[in-house]
Amino acid sequence: MSGSKAAPGQDFNHFTEIDCENLTDKLDADALDTVLLALCQAGKRERSTTIWDLPTLTGLSLQDVFSAVRALEFNRFVRIYDNPADPFASVVSIELPGVHRLSAMRSTPAK
For the chain, the domains span: 18-104
Strand partners, 92: 49, 80
Determine the straight-line distance between the first and last CA of the chain, rounded to whole angstroms: 31
User: Rounded distance, CA 111 to CA 97, Å?
Assistant: 27
Residue-by-residue DSSP string for 56-81: HHH---HHHHHHHHHHHHHTTSEEEE
CATH 3.40.462.10 fits 18-104, yes or no: no
Query: What distance lies between CA 92 and its chain's CA centroid?
Result: 6
Each residue's pLDDT tens digit, 43-97? 888 888 999 999 999 999 999 999 999 999 998 989 999 889 998 999 998 888 8
8 Å CB contact between 7 and 51 = no
Put simply, whether the predicted model's pTM sits higher than 0.85 gets the answer no
